[in-house]
Amino acid sequence: MTDKQRIALIIQYDGTHFHGWQRQPNQRTVQEDIETAISKVLKQERVPLHAAGRTDSGVHAAAQVAHFDAPAHIPAYRWATILNGRLPADVLIRASAPVPSDWHARFDAQWRRYRYSLYTDARPNLFIRQFTWHYYHQRLDESLMLAALKPLLGYHHLSAFQRAGSSRPHAWVDVQDVECWRSEAFIHIEVQASGFLYGMMRLLVGLLVQVGAKERSLENFQDIWVNERREIVKSAAPPQGLCLLRVGYPNFPFTPDIWFDTFPKFILGKTEPQSPLT
């Protein structure tokens, strides 16, 4: 029997043209694209790829983590280059490394962190359209949005932010960190948690912008999730503003420069009008 090794991957993808991470019939998914590339290299049937978490249709990832098992004759570090030569332009393996045979991308993960980005200038911008929610209809108060987020810190039952159809046995989530800040025309929201419910970030942001627009009070926002009033949470933020930033592990074979902060923070500089050239 051929010796096997377990390979961990750091994966980036632009989710615009994907129907999410998880393999689905008659739909393009990130998992299937990468599994197909691995299978072609090994000249065998499907090689299962296990990820730290599943992203929805249209959602991006800056440092998704996944693993698979492969024959040991190919050095682990070479898999990134090998796969990148066989993958489409909207998927990239940033690095690959060997991990112990019992290491698991999903079950060994201690936390996941997502960022949601809103673009609030009334003028559209082609170059950020795929990665932000263009929300300019109302002025948003980012300080109110942060105040709404802070009580979520801790271990809470967050079924108010869970879409129907989840296979998760419970809705308890350990929220470890929250941030919300403005940078010129952009508002960024980050949440780090032990795990995320199905659709959690998009439902959370959808309700959070109502707080920022002063359509919903801080007290009402907290009442909704504390008392699990899921029927009130009707509007999910669009998927393109959401990115899986990174995943944390107690023993990780990759250095921070590879995985920790690889998704750009958008900056649009202010310019003064200039006289036309003569």
Quote the radius of gyration of the chain (alpha carbons, Å). 20
> What SS3 class is residue 43?
coil
For the chain, the residue count is: 278
CA–CA separation, 172 vs 4, rounded Å?
A: 36
Out of 14, 33, 56, 108, the active site residue is 56
Asked if 121 contacts 67 with a C-beta cutoff of 8 angstroms, the reply is no
Question: With contact defined as beta carbons under 8 Å apart, do 208 and 149 qualify?
Answer: yes
DSSP per-residue letters across 164-233? TT---S--EEEEEEEEEEEETTEEEEEEEES---TTHHHHHHHHHHHHHTTSS-HHHHHHHHHTT-GGG-
CB neighbour list of residue 246: distance below 8 Å, 6 or more residues apart: 62, 63, 112, 113, 259, 260, 261, 262
Would residue 56 show up in a list of annotated catalytic residues for this protein? yes
**Tokens matching residue 10:** 């750091």
Cα 263 from Cα 51, distance rounded (Å): 19
Residues 116 and 132: their CA atoms lie apart, in Å, by: 8
The residues that are catalytic are 56
